[in-house]
Structure 1
């Protein structure tokens, strides 16, 4: 149902995230909290799966 939250419904910490290119997103990741980074990772896993973003999230998360 529409009431269930999906990764797309998660409010990401970066405004207009969906419209940004990977090169625009990556520099902004370093200012996010661990929870915000996890939300970005989950969104990318579920949607576009952009490797540059996922790699930077992993680096910042210490994974």
Structure 2
């Protein structure tokens, strides 16, 4: 008997928790996803602005 890797167990626990959170409170889950998406989009925009400013100065 080989034990499953801990990484696989943790991944399944995260998936189960996310499904539970979505099914029990979908509105809050959607708000969290929307905020996370906004944060990622803003970070990418800021990185692009940084490199644009860096290249314009050269």
Does TM-score exceed 0.5, indicating one fold? no
Q: TM-score, normalised by structure 2?
A: 0.29
Structure richer in helix, relative to its length: 2
Higher relative contact order (Cα pairs below 8 Å, separated by 6+ residues): 1
